Structure formats: structure tokens, C-alpha cells
Amino acid sequence: MEILMSIVVGILFTIATYLVLSKSLLRIIVGTGILSHAAHLLILTMGGLKQGAVPILSENAKSYVDPLPQALILTAIVISFGVTSFFLVLAYRSYQELGTDNMDQLRGNKSYE
């Protein structure tokens, strides 16, 4: 199971890298979304995917799945929510102000002279 998940995570990282390297800003933001998705999936996988009950004590099971990675993922998810929403608003605002979403035109080499 871990091997399958590792391959999926690898594919997600590939897609994210490809999208982040593209020119359009929205594609880049989609890329960062997939990147954080891959990172969260990787925490879950690396915590171990063995069989066990959900980590609720009232289940009275013999073994539970590891609760720590789930807490880490929950933290990482809300952080990346916050950052992504800020990024989207930033992209919207800069589209209004700068009139482009093409990263080639956002280089800004000229203004340093």
C-alpha cells in the first residue's frame, strides 16, 4: 500500500513541478495546491498505513492508526489554506494593477535602472 501511495505522491510532485514552471500565474497557483496535496499525502504515508481503528478511544480496538501524522496534516492543511487564499487574492489584485498574469512580463528587469 505504501508503495502505491509513494508512486501517487511522486506523480503529484511531477505535475506540481510542471505547473509551477509554467508562465500563467493561475497555473502556478494550481501547482502549489497540488504540491501541498502531495506533501500532506506523504505525511500520511510516512506515518504508516497499517490496519487499525480510527484514533477515537471509544472504539475500544486492539490497535489504532497513528494519530500524530493526522494532527500534523490538519495543521499543514489550514496553513496552506491560509497561504493559498492570500496567494489567490494577491494574484487577483496584481491582475487588476499590473494588467497581466504572464510571469514573463512580471520580471521587472527594467525598473532597477
Partner 1 sequence: MNNFVILPILLPLLTGIFLIFLARKVNAQRVVSLVSAIISIVIAISLVIEVKTNGIQVMQASSWDAPFGISIVADMLSSLLVLVTSIIVFSVLIYSFKHIDEGRERFFYYPLVQFLIVGVNGAFLTGDIFNLFVFFEVMLMSSYVLLVIGGTKIQLRETIKYLLVNVIASALFVVAVALLYSVVGTLNIADISQRIAEIDQPAIITVIAILFLVVFGLKGAIFPLYVWMPGSYYAPPIPILALFGALLTKVGIYSILRTFTTLFYHHPEYTHSIMLYLAILTIIFGCIGVLAYMDVKKIIIYNIVVAIGVILFGISIMNTESLAGSVMYTLHDMLIKSALFLLIGMMIAKTGTSNMKRMGGLMHQYPFLGWLFFIAAISLAGVPPFSGFAGKLMIIQGAFKAGHYAGGLIVLFSSLIVLYSVMRIFIYAFWGEKKEYELAPEQKKDTRFLLLPISILIAVSIAYGIGSEAVYTYVSDAVQVLTNPSDYIQAVLKE
**What is the contact surface with partner 1 in residues (CB under 8 A)?**
20, 25, 28, 32, 35-36, 38-40, 42-43, 45-48, 68-69, 72, 75-76, 79-80, 82-83, 86-87, 90-91, 93-94, 97-98, 106, 108, 111-112
- List of E strands, the chain: none
Secondary structure class of 108 (helix, strand, coil):
coil
Residues 6 or more apart in contact with residue 48 via CB below 8 angstroms: 2, 65, 66
If the CB atoms of residues 8 and 91 are measured against partner 1, the closer one turns out to be 91
Least Cβ distance, residue 29 to partner 1 (angstroms): 9
If the CB atoms of residues 56 and 68 are measured against partner 1, the closer one turns out to be 68
If the CB atoms of residues 49 and 53 are measured against partner 1, the closer one turns out to be 49
Do the Cβ atoms of 12 and 34 come closer than 8 Å? yes
